[in-house]
Amino acid sequence: MPELSRIPFVKASAFGNDFLIIRKEFQGGDAPARTRALCDRHNGIGADGVEWLSDVSGHSARIELINADGSFAELSGNGTRCVAAHLVACGGAEDLLIATDAGSKRCQLTKRDGNRYEFLTDMGSPVVGESFEIDLGHVRYTGVPVSMGNPHFVIFVTEFPDDWQKDSQLIQARADLFPEGINVEWVQFNSSSEIMIRIFERGAGETQSSGTGTSASASAAIAVRKSPEKLTVIAPGGVQRVQWTPGSSLMLEGSASLICSGEFFL
C-alpha cells in the first residue's frame, strides 16, 4: 500500500465557532479546495474555517483565514484567539502579536484552565457607518454597517425573526450594496448593558459565535443606541465582553478551547 499523504492539524473552538489550525506549507496548489475538504463535516474534519499558519518577523505568527466554503476572509476574532491558544499551548509567550489580513491583533492571556484559554484581544478601532434601510421585498430592515477590518451589517430587533437565517441570506445576496459580501448580525437588547446576538457569516452561514460579530454588534449598540461602553454580548455558543470608547481600540474578552489534534489523510 502506498503511504498516505498526511496533513497535521489542531482543532480549536471559541464558543462553538470552530477552526482548524494548519501550517501554510500544507495548503497545496488549491488552498480553497483543500480548505473545503478539511472543513467538510461529513467527509472531512469539520470546521467553520481554516487558519493557515506561518512565520513572520516581529509577530508570534501570521494567519490566513479561509472559510469553510473556500472563500477568503480578512479576519476572525474567534479564530485569532484559537490560534493564540494553540501558540500558548506550544510554549509561546502569553502576550502575542498575530498578523492577519486586517492588521496585527494583540492577544493577552488572562487565565488558563486545562485546555481552555481566556484572552483580552485588541480588535482595533471599529468604523461605524450611517444606518440605512434594505428592502427584501417581503420585509424591510434598517441596519448599521460596521467594519472590524471585515464587513458587518448589524440589525437591531425587539425579537429575532423566525426566518432570520433566510433573510440573512437575502441580505448577503445584495451584491449591489455589499460587493465584498457581508456578515449579518441580529441584535436584541436584554438590558442597556447586555445584548443577545444571532450571526450569519460570509462563507460559513449560521455560527454559534463570532469575535468580530460580537465586536461589530457591541460597537453599533454603543455608537447608535448610546449603550454603556462596557457590554456583555450573549451568542448561542457563549458570552463575550466588550469595552469600547468611540475613537479608541475595542477590547474583546473571551475564551478559546483546544479540542484535538491529528492528521488528515489525502
Select from 3.30.590.10, 3.40.50.2300, 3.50.50.100, 3.10.310.10 the CATH code of 127-248: 3.10.310.10
Short-list 158, 157, 164, CA closest to 136: 164
Facing residues of 122 across strands? Answer: 106, 251
- Per-residue confidence band for 219, with pLDDT thresholds at 50, 70 and 90: very high
CATH topology agreement for domains 6-122+254-265 and 127-248: yes
| Segment holding 87, helix H or strand E | helix 77-89
Cell 467538510 found at: 40
Q: What is the pLDDT of residues 225-235, one digit of tens each?
A: 999 999 999 99
- The pLDDT of 27-49, averaged and rounded, is 97
What is the C-alpha to C-alpha distance for residues 125 and 249, in angstroms, rounded to an integer?
4
DSSP state of 25: G
Q: What is the pLDDT of residues 2-18, one digit of tens each?
A: 566 999 999 999 999 99
Short-list 214, 213, 231, CA closest to 222: 231
Class of domain 6-122+254-265: alpha beta
CB 237 within 8 A of CB 17: yes
**What's the mean pLDDT when you consider all of the chain?**
96
What is the C-alpha to C-alpha distance for residues 19 and 26, in angstroms, rounded to an integer?
16
Domain ranges, ordered by start, for the chain? 6-122+254-265, 127-248
| Segment holding 203, helix H or strand E | none
What pLDDT, on a 0 to 100 scale, did the predictor assign at position 213? 98
Q: What is the pLDDT of residues 41-88, one digit of tens each?
A: 999 999 999 999 999 999 999 999 999 999 999 999 999 999 999 999
- The pLDDT of 31-50, averaged and rounded, is 98
What pLDDT, on a 0 to 100 scale, did the predictor assign at position 92? 80
Q: How many CB atoms lie within 10 A of CB 26?
A: 19
- The pLDDT of 180-195, averaged and rounded, is 97
Q: What angle do CA 92, 96, 101 make, to 5 degrees?
A: 120
Rg (CA), the chain: 18
- The pLDDT of 20-33, averaged and rounded, is 96
Q: What is the pLDDT of residues 111-156, one digit of tens each?
A: 999 999 999 999 999 999 999 999 999 999 999 999 999 999 999 9
Q: Quick one: what percent of the chain has pLDDT higher than 90?
A: 97
Facing residues of 211 across strands? Answer: none
Facing residues of 256 across strands? Answer: 117
What pLDDT, on a 0 to 100 scale, did the predictor assign at position 1? 42
